[in-house]
């Protein structure tokens, strides 16, 4: 008879063995399976855990590995002859122990009593509880597992497909890799909160039931029954009313700074974005959100610091935060100051606004090597010509795979030979396409400039002198080369994380109605309409030289991945109104949705700025996880659905009625 | 000319004075206004803060109080003759200082440089920066406030009404009382997290976009565009699909425990409830949510411990947590063990399932004093008769106001006189109503039992022998007396917080379709359908003696307010199915929504239990705030609307279209 805890009277008939009640207060766990060490040898222990399938049952000596959320311990059960009779309260006859344990389905949860001993030397293993084993004297079946499990989480050799694992997430979470990620996430969150608390930041919860904005693409809406309570206009009451879930707590945190009640705010904020399924995006995600009052508009250490915009107070906090996390979690000591690069430099040298600086392959501007007429034509069109080269001599990681690497649209690819050494650039379609009169004498030698030899491979492409957008074709080619080299094993990224601040983005971008929410006028905000201009460019803003205005925005990039972004905000109501009306050309209705913010700025708002760091992404990098789904306990699928809870789901029509809506 | 930071060129024309740019990197704050002490005397300081209206301007000596989020400092400006000429970089002529400061609208934010000195002895005050003042040498106007503010937050003598303060919450948050609450909330959150981290709890974020349940009253729904991605049945795709916001993360946290990946979970979880405006309820609120695997079903210290159900591991954690919070925030040392009372005892003695034990006024059962026929009739109807008395001798706090206190419906109120001393009980309408033959000899003397004297006041009412619900008429009368006595000043509650655990609730309650979600059968769950029965009552459950089954549920009560509740959960799938099908009589469709939970229980789920503590309520008590709105940065009004952001709001019909819904 197997003892079990509070069963249904007919519970275990299906398991083929009979059961008996155990007194309700079962013994308390004394240790965690994964935490036993050689220091515990000879201790009596009470462990609870899940039975793994790798059991070895024999007549003299049997082994049952037992896993809890800290690791796995080897249980040992000797043949009956080795046991003394059971003490009082030991319901199990020792003669039954092996037989009974062997009957219990794998992944059942049991509680055992036993004592710890050293494993025979040859059987010791590195890792948690690898040196010891536990001789079992008694056990209780806490809850049996079904014999027909959808999959066995311990079978990592034949992992179930992701769909099945999503559907039974509670089983997948038994994999130590996954539960380890969830545990690490909690550790990182606690470090973040502790650092920010030490720096006098106040954690403030902002509303999740927020305001729907007129341009509300990407928002989730929440219909509400509050219609009757809100507003006295009877015509309005007929209209269904909605909250919206925040894409970020941007407005609440700025209002908080305007209040002055708190001058340093942070929150691990849940945010929501209703986007069509994008790879590795979640409809709900978490950001480390912070905001500070009294941030400066310029850097007092201007002379020796590449950070020329304001908000260096935010930079200091974030660098301290990130350094502490990496020191405590990764045992890596990051530099005192993270590298700073302007958007202009990053686009020019790496063709990306989030350059991966772990490897070279920099883009070289060869415009000065072109014939004079081409040079002039390019200057008129505001363009330059750049090259990316994979050289046999210098780029040993990338040259071997360069031949197989597909070429980005819009680029020319040239293999250097002794014949084309002097003509490959001027003869390229890119250069020929600029000016039909390109047959004059070229002004410089690009092969010399790029140190090329026959056999080297070059990609040629045009770039804009005043860069736009997030990447260029040459920048994308550079990443393709690195990806292919990494997959082929010729390139292994350094373990040292490359943190990089990006600054001096243009404040406004030519409007693209497809992409931008506020694309009414010629210009839209590159980041958001609350970003302040660099103080050096305030006059240009008011003079209407919009394309010249740099924003006080900063992105934090890690290994080519943007993990955060923020800015110094506009704190001057008239400047904010000027941006809304004159630059973005919002209409009255659109502007009205910012009335409370404008009024708050008019009430003595301090200068302020902040940042939001992608917490899921940061933890995924720390866990070396390929997807943020691996660091979220209950993630949505890439289609934005919850495969475990089967959500979203239809609701009864009557429920919609009370919100004033119905199926269309 | 007043120096200001990055103004619009025409910014200050409306303020009646001209302005000049200041270099962008303004000096860094060296101190907080509210943190200056006599230790800072003679230091040079840079402060930033808001100008308060209580300025005193005179020709020789002027005072300007300056407030930041830490407190208020007195700024002093001497007459010009006392100043030396300005140093380099000092744009302000000292002769201008008083004039210029006096021109700045109140609630403007300024940055000052100056030095700290002791205030004249008579002007020193207790509280932050009360001993010192700052002699101003220079200032910069960081941002001016409008001269026409909706209200002045510093004017606490004439506080604006709550509607106005809600609408301009960013101004109201300047009140030190309110910002102090927000700061304390953050401190409490950090203590909670630190204690739980130390106890190996893992913080896990559970989904906010959760599953809509079939009985989903009180849920907020979130329409989703994911319809096309989810499910392959083309008929279903036509149907709009919804997420629902969680009322609590109950199912995710149980699934997490079933996974075993984490054996101790916590979260400061945002929860949502779409209820019609109730006093001091918020549609979104925060709870300290925790769950533990391997909680026992009984108490091993049974002999000397009134906690007889399981889950004492949860009790230990919560008591430790609460003790630490009260020790650190209130400097109050709470007892090692909180008092435990059964539901039966609380209902009998206090007529409430969340008794306020700070005062006496206990209900006394006088059934034994009644005539035999009445006694028998009451026994048949399962009732008792109870009395609440306010005695001149013993109840000095309550007797003085007892005459004015209105009587609850269903109670008799009697003033004891020398005439009715022996007959007041048997002559009362309550007792007469039980049995028409109540004229026999009464079996005991209730006046003696209650130690009554003429002039004392007694309330008489029936109570159920097996209590039901949350309160009785006598219990409500008891609270009415305390409230009135408190408002009249005859009773002042003790400062010592009275924590109390309530246990041994009935697991099921007679179904009330109005109140209960699962009210299909004769029974509904008193708390929720996942609560485990007391192990002593398992057999009664399976025998169908439903009314006798006590749950392993525990409520934490503070000063008569329920601040949390939790339970040991059912971990046995067959028991859970029995409860769903046989007791609650859920139909197939309703049960289907728990399929994932039932399956998770079948996969070796450990015994588990947890609790949720109302964080807003707990902080409100710690802040001595009358409403939880005073401890939430951006609360909703009592009607459930956001007066600041003007939310909820209508949305454009086109937006609804993509969700497959439209206005009805």
- Kindly tell me if the per-residue pLDDT of A518 is higher than 70: no
In this predicted model, what pLDDT tens digit does every residue of B527-565 receive, in sequence order?
A: 899 999 998 899 899 999 999 999 999 999 999 999 999
The alpha carbon of residue A651 and the mean position of all alpha carbons in its chain are separated, in whole angstroms, by 32
- Kindly tell me if the per-residue pLDDT of B382 is higher than 50: yes
In this predicted model, what pLDDT tens digit does every residue of A396-438 receive, in sequence order?
A: 899 999 999 999 999 999 999 999 998 899 889 998 888 765 5
Nearest to A604 among B50, B293, B645 (CB): B50
**pTM for the model:** 0.93
- Kindly tell me if the per-residue pLDDT of B660 is higher than 90: no
Q: How far apart are CA B622 and CA A414, in angstroms?
A: 73
In the predicted model, what is the mean pLDDT of residues B428-455?
83
Residue B46 backbone dihedrals phi, psi, to 5 degrees: -120, 120
- Kindly tell me if the per-residue pLDDT of B586 is higher than 50: yes
Of B199, B293, B296, nearest in space to A28 by CA: B296
Nearest to B607 among A5, A225, A299 (CB): A5
Query: Cis omega before residue A162 (within 30°)?
Result: no
Q: In angstroms, what is the C-alpha Rg of chain A? A: 32
Structure tokens at A87: 């003490």
Q: How far apart are CA B458 and CA A497, in angstroms?
A: 77
Q: How far apart are CA A445 and CA A584, in angstroms?
A: 45
Structure tokens at A3: 């003892």
Nearest to A204 among B145, B182, B210 (CB): B182
Given a contact cutoff of 8 angstroms between Cβ atoms, the answer to whether B605 and B258 are in contact is yes
In this predicted model, what pLDDT tens digit does every residue of B305-348 receive, in sequence order?
A: 999 999 999 999 999 999 999 999 999 999 999 999 999 999 99
B13 touches A at CB < 8 Å:
no
Mutation target vs B (from A46, A51, A152, A170; most B CBs, 10 A cutoff)? A170
* DSSP 8-class letter at A78: E
With the C-alpha atoms ordered B345, B347, B349, B352, is the resulting torsion angle positive or negative?
A: positive
User: Can you give the pLDDT at residue B224?
Assistant: 86
User: Can you give the pLDDT at residue B48?
Assistant: 95
pLDDT band of A10, cuts 50, 70, 90: low
pLDDT band of A128, cuts 50, 70, 90: confident
How would DSSP label each residue in A594-628? Answer: THHHHHHHTBTPPPEEEEEEEHHHHHHHHTT-SSG
Strand order across the beta sheet in which B412-415 lies: B364-365, B383-390, B457-464, B412-415
A592 touches B at CB < 8 Å:
no
Interface list for A 232-271 with B (CB within 8 A): 236, 239-245, 251-252, 255-256, 258-263, 270
In this predicted model, what pLDDT tens digit does every residue of B500-533 receive, in sequence order?
A: 999 999 999 987 655 555 555 578 899 899 999 9
- Kindly tell me if the per-residue pLDDT of B17 is higher than 70: no
**Beta bridge mates, A66:** A51, A73
* DSSP 8-class letter at A635: P
- Please give the share of chain A, as a percent, with pLDDT higher than 90: 65
User: Can you give the pLDDT at residue A24?
Assistant: 64
Mutation target vs A (from B150, B314, B651, B657; most A CBs, 10 A cutoff)? B651
For this complex, say whether ipTM is above 0.90: yes
Given a contact cutoff of 8 angstroms between Cβ atoms, the answer to whether A627 and A620 are in contact is yes
In this predicted model, what pLDDT tens digit does every residue of B150-160 receive, in sequence order?
A: 999 988 888 88
- Please give the share of chain A, as a percent, with pLDDT higher than 70: 88
What are the structural domains, with CATH classification, of chain B?
2-143 (2.40.50.140), 359-492 (3.30.1360)
Q: Beta strand A561-568 with A553-558: parallel, antiparallel or unpaired?
A: antiparallel
Contact A648 B227 (CB under 8 A): yes
Containing A655, the helix (H) or strand (E) segment is helix A653-657
Structure tokens at B386: 């109870």
User: B426 to chain A, minimum CA–CA distance in Å?
Assistant: 47
Which chain B residue has its CA at the smallest distance from A108's CA? B604
Q: How far apart are CA A187 and CA A618, in angstroms?
A: 13
A604 touches B at CB < 8 Å:
yes
Residues of B in Cβ contact (< 8 Å) with A178: 261
Contacts of A88 (CB under 8 A, 6+ apart): none
Average pLDDT, chain A: 88
pLDDT band of A629, cuts 50, 70, 90: very high
Q: How far apart are CA A32 and CA A66, in angstroms?
A: 10
Of A62, A65, A70, A63, nearest in space to A29 by CA: A70
Average pLDDT, chain B: 88
In this predicted model, what pLDDT tens digit does every residue of A185-242 receive, in sequence order?
A: 999 999 999 999 999 999 999 999 999 876 666 889 999 875 554 444 444 556 788 9
User: Can you give the pLDDT at residue B86?
Assistant: 46
In this predicted model, what pLDDT tens digit does every residue of B215-269 receive, in sequence order?
A: 656 889 999 875 554 444 444 556 788 999 999 999 999 999 999 999 999 999 9
Name the least confident of A386-395, A546-555, B97-106, B400-409.
B97-106
Q: How far apart are CA B27 and CA B111, in angstroms?
A: 8
Structure tokens at A103: 């009957």
User: Look-up: residue for tokens 């660091």?
Assistant: A631
User: Can you give the pLDDT at residue A86?
Assistant: 46
Query: Cis omega before residue A122 (within 30°)?
Result: no
How would DSSP label each residue in B131-172? Answer: SEEEEEEEEEEEEPBPSS-S--TT--TTPPPHHHHHHTHHHH
Which chain A residue has its CA at the smallest distance from B196's CA? A190
SS3 call for A258: helix
In the predicted model, what is the mean pLDDT of residues A257-261?
94
User: Can you give the pLDDT at residue B95?
Assistant: 56
Given a contact cutoff of 8 angstroms between Cβ atoms, the answer to whether A3 and A92 are in contact is yes
Of B584, B571, B583, nearest in space to B610 by CA: B571
- Kindly tell me if the per-residue pLDDT of A290 is higher than 50: yes
User: Can you give the pLDDT at residue A291?
Assistant: 98
In the predicted model, what is the mean pLDDT of residues A600-629?
96
Q: In angstroms, what is the C-alpha Rg of chain B? A: 32
Name the least confident of A15-19, A120-124, A652-656, B622-626.
A15-19
Nearest to A212 among B197, B300, B649 (CB): B649
In this predicted model, what pLDDT tens digit does every residue of A78-93 receive, in sequence order?
A: 866 444 544 444 444 5
Contacts of A335 (CB under 8 A, 6+ apart): none
Q: How far apart are CA A470 and CA A464, in angstroms?
A: 12
User: B22 to chain A, minimum CA–CA distance in Å?
Assistant: 10
């Amino acid at each position: 008879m197997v003892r079990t805890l509070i069963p249904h009277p007919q519970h275990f008939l299906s398991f083929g063995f009979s059961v008996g009640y155990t007194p309700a207060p079962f013994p308390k766990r004394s240790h965690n399976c994964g935490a036993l060490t050689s220091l515990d040898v000879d201790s009596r222990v009470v462990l609870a855990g899940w039975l793994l399938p790798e059991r070895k049952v024999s007549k003299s000596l049997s082994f049952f590995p037992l896993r809890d959320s800290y690791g796995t311990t080897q249980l040992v059960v000797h043949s009956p002859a080795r046991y003394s009779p059971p003490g009082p309260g030991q319901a199990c006859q020792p003669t039954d122990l092996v037989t009974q344990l062997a009957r219990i389905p794998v992944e059942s949860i049991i509680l055992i009593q036993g004592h710890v001993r050293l494993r025979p030397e040859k059987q010791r293993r590195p890792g948690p509880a690898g040196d010891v084993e536990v001789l079992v004297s008694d056990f209780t079946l806490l809850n049996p597992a079904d014999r027909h499990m959808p999959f066995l989480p311990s079978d990592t050799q034949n992992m179930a497909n992701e769909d099945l694992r999503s559907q039974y997430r509670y089983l997948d979470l038994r994999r130590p890799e996954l539960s380890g990620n969830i545990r690490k996430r909690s550790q990182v969150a606690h470090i973040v909160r502790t650092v920010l608390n030490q720096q006098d930041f106040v954690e403030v919860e902002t509303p999740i039931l927020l305001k729907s904005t007129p341009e509300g693409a990407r928002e989730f809406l929440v219909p509400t029954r509050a219609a009757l309570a809100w507003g006295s206009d009877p015509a309005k009451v007929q209209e269904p009313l909605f909250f919206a879930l925040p894409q970020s707590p941007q407005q609440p945190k700025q209002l908080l700074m305007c209040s002055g009640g708190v001058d340093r705010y942070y929150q691990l904020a849940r945010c929501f974005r209703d986007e069509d399924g994008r790879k590795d995006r979640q409809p709900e995600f978490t950001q480390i959100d912070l905001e500070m009052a009294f941030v400066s508009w310029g850097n007092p250490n201007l002379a020796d610091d590449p950070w020329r915009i304001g908000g260096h107070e935010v930079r200091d906090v974030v660098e301290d935060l990130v350094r502490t996390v990496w020191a405590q979690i990764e045992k890596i000591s990051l530099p005192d100051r993270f590298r700073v690069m302007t958007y202009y430099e990053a686009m020019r040298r790496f063709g990306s606004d989030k350059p991966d600086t772990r490897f070279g392959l920099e883009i070289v501007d060869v415009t000065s090597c072109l014939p004079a007429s081409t040079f002039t034509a390019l200057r008129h069109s505001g363009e330059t010509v750049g090259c990316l080269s994979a050289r046999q001599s210098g780029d040993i990681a990338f040259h071997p795979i360069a031949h197989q690497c597909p070429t980005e649209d819009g680029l020319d690819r040239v293999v250097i030979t002794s014949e084309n050494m002097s003509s490959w650039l001027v003869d390229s379609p890119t250069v020929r396409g600029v000016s039909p009169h390109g047959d004059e004498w070229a002004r410089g030698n690009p092969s010399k400039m790029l140190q090329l030899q026959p056999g080297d491979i070059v990609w040629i492409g045009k770039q804009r002198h005043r860069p736009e957008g997030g990447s260029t074709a040459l920048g994308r080619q550079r990443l393709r080369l690195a990806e292919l080299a990494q997959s082929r094993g010729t390139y292994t990224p350094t373990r040292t994380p490359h943190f990089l601040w990006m600054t001096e983005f243009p404040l406004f971008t030519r409007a693209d109605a497809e992409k931008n929410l506020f694309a009414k006028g010629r210009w839209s905000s590159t980041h958001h309409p609350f970003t302040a201009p660099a103080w050096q460019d305030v006059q240009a803003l008011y003079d209407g030289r919009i394309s010249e205005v740099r924003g006080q925005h900063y992105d934090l990039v890690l290994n080519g991945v943007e993990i955060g972004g923020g800015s110094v905000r506009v704190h001057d109501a008239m400047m904010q109104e000027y941006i809304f009306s004159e630059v973005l050309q919002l209409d009255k209705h659109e502007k009205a949705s910012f009335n409370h913010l404008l009024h708050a700025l008019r009430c003595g708002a301090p200068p302020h700025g902040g940042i939001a760091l992608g917490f899921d992404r940061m933890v995924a990098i720390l866990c070396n996880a390929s997807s943020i789904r691996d660091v979220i306990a209950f993630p949505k699928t890439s289609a934005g659905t919850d495969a475990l809870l089967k959500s979203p789901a239809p609701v009864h029509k009557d429920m919609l009625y009370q919100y004033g809506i119905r199926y269309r």
